[in-house]
């Protein structure tokens, strides 16, 4: 099989969509070495996270022709010409969208939908962005021969908000990078904490610093827990929201107990997880919640929020709070810190729950979608035989 992929996020994005793209590509390439994977990307950047992909012999990169469409225009309209020339059997859009002319390509298509958050929390997005997402994502869902949703919540949203037949959507949970499964030694963690100047005891929250991720509920809780417990925030500021968080922390008297880290090397993130006493992820809305899975793989007790899909990612042993209720966050933190034996049990149970998200299972299910999609596509275009 020759499978085409939208490779832009795999090449350029260091967080969620990029991580998912790389996991899918690496998983399919590793477990189906007889297949050829064609990665279509407007450009190639110096990205250390592509080392494994570049080393795999059954992966090939494709770029815009010297004369022709470039950048986003090529990604939106030009890829389809390459699919024909490359004799691709299927194209997979890995990040919510497909080329707008994919239906005329003669190649069956699959799109992965990660979330429709801009519809659920419109106040967190600019009007022009909501319009663009609605046009591109909705059209991609309607044009795709099949849709992969990263959670049941995302499937339900796609069906409800885009009017898609539920039989056209398959839920396939994503995994996280295998490096989170390795247990760091005490010496490694001590060296990491020294190098990054991490506090001795801390709660960790990973994610873009923006209203939706709800860092404020953790900051508000901080003033009501032991003063030797700190908060480490890993993520970049979005739209100046960090200034609001700093002002809130200053008013609450906890600013000195918060350490912000932007641009943390990905190789350090498993250690930062494992050195934390608790991982908090009280996001108001998500499509899946990879930081939760990374924490579970790191054997950390997790506090997440109700209201979207985080129960799917966290499982039965994660604690869940109302994202608008800092009192519940305080209570959840206290319940973990006051019972170390229970916290260890949460970590072990979470690690066991995370096994269901390993990459081999994800690759197998995605390949099943590919095969069924190609078979159904062929049955539509082949002439029917006379009885």
pLDDT tens per residue across span 180-232: 999 999 999 999 999 999 999 999 999 999 999 999 999 999 999 999 999 99
- Map out the domains of the chain with their CATH numbers: 2-175+358-378 (3.40.50.2000), 178-356 (3.40.50.2000)
Percent of the chain with pLDDT over 70: 98
- Alpha carbons 264 and 251: distance in angstroms, whole number: 27
Rounded mean pLDDT, 94-107: 94
Mean pLDDT of the 308-313 span: 92
Contact assessment for residue 198 and residue 259, using Cβ atoms and an 8 Å cutoff? yes
Confidence (pLDDT) at 387? 37
Average pLDDT over residues 132-158: 96
Closest CA to 269 of 367, 182, 169: 182
Instruction: Say whether pLDDT at 347 is over 60.
Output: yes
Average pLDDT on 359-381 reads: 92
Query: What pTM was estimated for this model as a whole?
Result: 0.91
- Does residue 384 surpass a pLDDT of 70? no
CA 245 to chain centre: 24
Q: Is 72 a residue whose pLDDT tops 90?
A: no
pLDDT tens figures, 251-283: 999 999 999 999 999 999 999 999 999 999 999
Give helix 326-337 / helix 340-354 axis angle, nearest 10°. 100
């Amino acid at each position: 099989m020759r499978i085409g992929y939208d490779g832009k996020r795999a090449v350029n994005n260091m967080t969620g969509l990029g991580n998912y793209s790389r996991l899918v590509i690496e998983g399919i390439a590793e477990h189906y070495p007889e297949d050829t994977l064609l990665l279509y990307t407007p450009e190639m950047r110096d990205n250390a996270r592509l080392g494994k992909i570049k080393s795999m012999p059954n992966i090939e990169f494709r770029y815009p022709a010297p004369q022709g469409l470039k950048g986003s225009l090529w990604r939106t309209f030009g890829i389809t010409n390459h699919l024909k020339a490359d004799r691709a059997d299927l194209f997979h859009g890995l990040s919510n969208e497909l080329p707008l002319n994919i239906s005329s390509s003669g190649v069956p298509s699959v799109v992965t939908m990660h979330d429709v958050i801009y519809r659920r929390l419109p106040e967190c997005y600019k009007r022009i962005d909501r319009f663009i997402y609605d046009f591109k994502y909705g059209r991609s869902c309607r044009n795709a021969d099949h849709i992969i949703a990263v959670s049941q919540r995302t499937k339900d949203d796609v069906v409800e908000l885009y009017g898609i037949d539920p039989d056209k959507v398959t839920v396939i949970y994503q995994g996280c990078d295998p490096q989170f499964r390795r247990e760091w030694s005490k010496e490694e963690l001590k060296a990491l904490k020294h190098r990054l100047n991490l506090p001795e005891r801390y709660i960790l929250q990973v994610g873009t610093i923006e209203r939706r991720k709800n860092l404020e509920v953790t900051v508000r809780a901080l003033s009501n827990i032991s003063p030797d417990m700190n908060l480490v925030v890993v993520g970049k500021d979005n739209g100046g929201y960090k200034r609001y968080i700093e002002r809130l922390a200053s008013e609450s008297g906890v600013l000195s107990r918060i350490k912000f880290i932007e641009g943390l090397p990905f190789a350090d993130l498993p250690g930062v997880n494992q050195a934390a006493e608790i991982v908090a992820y009280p996001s108001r809305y998500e499509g899946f919640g990879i930081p939760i899975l990374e924490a579970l793989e790191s054997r950390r007790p997790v506090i997440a929020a109700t209201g979207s899909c985080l129960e799917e990612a966290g499982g039965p042993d994660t604690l869940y709070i109302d994202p608008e209720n800092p009192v519940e966050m305080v209570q959840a933190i206290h319940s973990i810190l006051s019972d170390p034996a229970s916290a260890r049990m949460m970590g072990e149970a979470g690690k066991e729950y995370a096994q269901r998200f390993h990459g081999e299972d994800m690759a197998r299910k995605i390949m099943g979608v590919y095969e069924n999609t190609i078979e159904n596509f062929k049955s539509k275009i082949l002439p029917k035989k006379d009885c």
